[in-house]
Structures are given as C-alpha cells and as structure tokens.
Amino acid sequence: MIIKKASPGLDQRNQLAEILGEAHQVVEYEDGVALADQVGDAHVLLVRDVAIDRDVIDAAPNLRLIQRPGDHLPVVDLDHAKRRGVFVSRFPSKVQGAPARDVAEHAFHLILSLAKESSRANENLRRGVVGLPKTRRVHGLTLGLVGVGNTGSELARLGRAFAMRVVAVKRTRDAALADELGLDWLETFDSLDRLLAESDIVSLHLPMIPDTVDFIGEAELAKMKAGAFLINISRAPMVNRAALLTALQCGHLGGAGLDVFWEEPVPANEPMLELPNVVITPHIAGDTRETERRLAELTADNVNRLARDEAPAWVVGVDVDAGER
C-alpha cells in the first residue's frame, strides 16, 4: 500500500515507515506542489492541518483511508469521502496514551518561561549580565482555565502541584469535576469576566468552532489583570491578533505564551517575535517522542487492517464523531 503524507510536519522521524517495514511505502509531502497532484497513487492519506476537499479525494482513485494521526480533524469533506467509500479515522485522546498530559506540560513550560523571564535571562547571559532579570514566583498565583476538557484538567492538576489557586469556566457547571481537580471555583462562561479579573495566568482550552473565533479580544484583554499572562495551546484564532499585540506592546499584559500562531510557520517579520515578554513555540505541545511513537503504532495498525480487508479502527461516524476535544 502507498501511504501519502498529505500535510507537512507529519511523522518527522519516519516512525511509521519503520513500523510498517517494506510491505508498505510511506511517501513524503511535497512543498510547492498542489495536493491533488500528489495523491494519484495513494491508498492512505495522512493529514494534519491541510483541508481534504472533494477534488483531492477524487484525485486519488485508489484511496481507501484518510487518517488523522491525532485527535483534531482538519476540514475533510466527510460526505464525499463516504460516497467514495473512503474511511476517515482519527484517534481520540483516550487511545493515544497521554497526549493531554503532554500538552498540559507544554502549557506549564510556557508559564514557567514567562515567569522566569527566559528570553531576558538568555540575553543577559550572552551579554555577561549577572543577577538579572528578577523573576516571578509561580507558587500561589491564580491560574484561570477557559475550558476544562482533557488538557485543561491536566493543567489544573499541574497548577495544584505548584500550590496555585485554580479557577475555571466551561459550558456547564460540574461540581464533581471541580472537587476532583481541587478548583477554587468552576462556573459557566457567564463568569468569564470574573475569571479574567482574578487570574494571574489565563490559559485557553477550547475547541476551534465559529463561536470561539476572537473569543479573547480587546474587551477581554482589557479585563485581565495588569501584568497577567495569556497562554494559548489551543488554536490561534481564538485570540484577536491585533488586540493581543497591542496589549503586549503597551505593557498591560505581562506576557503571552503561544504554541499556536495565526500563520504557521511564523513570518520572520512578525512583531511578536521581537517582544521579550512573548514565548512562541512551533506547534509542538503534543508532539512528544512518546506520543509520536504511539500515533505511528495506531496508524500502522489501521494500515494493516486495510491490507487484510478489515475496517480501520476509530472511524469518524462509527467509533468517534467528527468533533474536537
């Protein structure tokens, strides 16, 4: 079988090819070539953040499976895939091992990088400056979670381990979850203003849907504590880009930690790259070596299922829905 990487940045250490061996061929994504021109002989398309529309599906007459080696499913024409008899599969967090923990760890890394002023510290080290900058203690700060799904819950546990006061908002109240996570309070989104006003650190853990575009805009940033940090490991469009830049440049926000950006890769002339109170990482929160291997194993299992004329596991609409975490 021919497995085509239909998105850049997938399985960069070629774990899938190693697991599958010579029985199958894994083909790399080609930059600068239209996707529809790359998939003609593919039986399986591996996808990340690239849309798979009907033109791409029709350009692959041998296509049997569109596989997301992860949870978040990009834009896929599910109806057309079904008409063509093409399976679409994604792997829910519960079968991946501990991806939510990986993402939460990265979010906490961003928190610590901001609190300990890693950018300024590295600059001072190169300049020979000793004893500066003065950093901030995380112990006892208030961590506000906007959304309490898998990653939010894991970050709450990490925050509590640092004796942080953790507050949260989500769509519905959940007293049992609040008790389990040791939250100081958990309310609905009606209490977002309260969370913004009380939190030293605000971390976003929402799905990317139309209602969450610009969820944090100029008005919400203005309601945050002076000097507070904003953490986004979800999706960039949840935050208004221009409003965030202004809040950082004027000093109202103490900093921002971002693992997602509005354009990826981040443009070399991006103003936020020049700000010492911003930490940006290249969309790697969930890409630990451990998770990469687990996802390659799950993908290989689905490829081998197809080779045996069996249905793949975790098919959208059968085993899992098409929603996000």
Which residues are the active-site residues?
Answer: 235, 264, 283
The token pair at 89 is 């599969």
Asked if 45 and 29 count as a contact pair (C-beta separation under 8 A), the reply is no
Residues 6+ apart with CB under 8 A from 83: none
Q: Long-range contacts for 115-121 (Cβ within 8 Å, ≥24 apart)?
A: 115/229, 117/276, 118/279, 119/276, 119/277, 119/278, 119/279, 120/276
For the chain, the first-to-last Cα distance in angstroms comes to 30
Counting Cβ atoms within 10 Å, is residue 305 exposed (0-12), middle (13-18) or buried (19+)? middle
Distance from C-alpha of 11 to C-alpha of 16, rounded to nearest angstrom: 7
The answer to whether the peptide bond before residue 265 is cis (omega within 30 degrees of 0) is yes
Asked if 3 and 46 count as a contact pair (C-beta separation under 8 A), the reply is yes
- Cα radius of gyration rounded to whole Å, the chain: 21
Nearest CA-CA partner of 36 in 65, 52, 56 = 56
C-alpha distances (whole Å) from 175 to each of 161, 180, 199, 264 are 20, 9, 20, 38
